[in-house]
Structures are given as C-alpha cells and as structure tokens.
Amino acid sequence: MPHVSEILAEKVSSALLIMRATDQAALQAQIMGWTIPKNYREVDYAYSQLKIGFYKNLANYSIFDVLVRYWKYFLIALLTFTSMVTTTLYIISLNRKLKDSREKLRLQATHDALTGLPNRILFFELANKYLKIAGREQQDSMILFLDLDKFKQINDIHGHDAGDQLLKDTASRIANCLRDTDIVARIGGDEFLIMLANVNTMDSFKTIMQRIISATSMPFVSPTGDSLQIGCSIGASHYPRQGEHLTELIKKADLALYQAKNNGRGNFVVFKEDQAA
C-alpha cells in the first residue's frame, strides 16, 4: 500500500503539472510559466524525488558527502587554480630573468669588462649630459686624457696577468682621486678619459691631476709578488674656454697629452692654442 506522503506528492505533482498560469491558485502563489514544456520535466523530477523520500536527506549532507558527490568539480577547480598560479609565477620568473638579462647586456655594452669602469660609449653619454648642465649653469669643466707610462714593459716582462691586475689597481687609484661628480672611463689599452665637472679654480684642478700622477706612480704588487713601477701622463682641455663640444675637447686633451709625453712623462699639460699647429 502506497505511503501517504507518496500519494500526496503524486497528487501535488499532477496538480502542478496541469495548473495553468492564469488559475487563481497560481496567481496567488505567483507561479508563472508552468505551461512551458521544459518546466514540466523540472517539476516532475522534483516531485519524483520527493516521493522516494529524498527530501529527508536534504538537511543531512556532510562535507564528506558533498566531496563524494562533487569531487570532479572540486578537482577541476583545484587544477584550474593551480594552473593559474603556476602560469603567473612562471611569467613573473621570465620577466625577472628578462630584466636581469637586459641589465647585464647594458652593463656589458657600457662598461669595461676588466676594470668595471665606464667605457667610451657611457663616457660620451654622461659627459655630454654634464656639458649641457655646465653650459646652463655657467660652470667650468676639464677633460683629461690619461696614458700610463711604461705599461707595455710590464706586459712584456711580467705577462698579461700582471698587466691586467695593474690596470685594475690603476683604475681603482684614479677613481679614489676623483669626486663623486667626476667621470672616469677606460677607453682601451692603457688609456683613460676623465671629466672633472664644475671646476672652481685652476689650482684645484691642477691639485687633482697631481694627485692622480702621484697615486699611479706608487709601486704595485703583481700576482707573483713582484714590485712594479709605472706612472702616467695627462693632457687636459678646458670647457668652455677651449671648446664647447666633447669631441673637440677630447682632441685638444689628446694633443696636450702628446706634449706631456714629449716633456719627459709623469706630468700634465693643459692645452694651449699653439699646440694645435
């Protein structure tokens, strides 16, 4: 004999399926659309579940029951989330590597690999910026062309390892003689370019050049423990008195350097117009 709840569910299900949307009961209950065929299936399924007592377990689901019933959806959601996180972390890692590679390439393109000083490219970039500031602020600046004395002999007698170490030590000594606003670059071999920004007086400028000459003439110690002695010669040109363009100033500093070497090396010469002849 059918259970009372089954008979009731059957009657309710049947009554709802044939109820028109314009019936008084439907209007009062604000039930709309029962006459649409797709809703018949939904209502019939709901009450078929009601007849077998499914409603008894509606409030008794545990988390375990939910997981057992919907584990596929949870797995898909977890895999999707994991994939998104992994992809995001991978993209962040690629961006960081790309940034590091760009920085490394720029460093290689603008710095001397041996001494770590700026190379000719970066020197021109920085020095031209300084000259624009000097022109705007009406400041005096000096360009120095420096060449080491007796460096070739060190390479020939003690080898390239000793020469390389000497260049590194020389670069460090020159940098220590300068201010933070000055620029020093190795442009090849044993040649260096220096820009002294905002020179107040010629005396202060000459003091810096003499300090560089003294620092480079102090003995060096080779990797094998030998004491090495070199020196340097410096040619200089003045901005803006002797030129307003960097290439012109470097050319005049180079001519002054040639004169300094002819004078016996280990000294500095400031360019004079008669040296261009």
CATH of the domain at 256: 3.30.70.270
Q: Same domain, yes or no, for 271 and 182?
A: yes
Q: What is the pTM of this model?
A: 0.64
Q: How many domains would you assign to the chain?
A: 2
Asked, for residue 76, whether it belongs to a domain, the answer is: no
Catalytic (active-site) positions:
190
Average pLDDT value for residue range 170-179: 94
Q: Is position 268 within any domain?
A: yes
Q: What is the mean pLDDT of residues 178-193?
A: 93
Asked whether residue 146 falls in the same domain as residue 239, the answer is yes
Contact by Cβ (8 Å): 113, 119:
no
Average pLDDT over residues 223-250: 92
Residues 25 and 125 in one domain: no
Query: CA-to-CA distance for 229 and 225, rounded, in angstroms?
Result: 13
Please state, in angstroms and rounded to a whole number, the distance separating the CA atoms of residues 10 and 7: 5
Average of per-residue pLDDT values in the chain: 82
Whether residues 129 and 238 share a domain: the answer is yes
Same domain, yes or no: 44 and 128? no
* Residue 206 falls inside a structural domain: yes
Question: Any idea how long the chain is?
Answer: 277
Can you give the residue range of the structural domain that contains 258? 120-276
pLDDT band at 11 (very low <50, low <70, confident <90, very high): low
Asked whether residue 28 falls in the same domain as residue 139, the answer is no
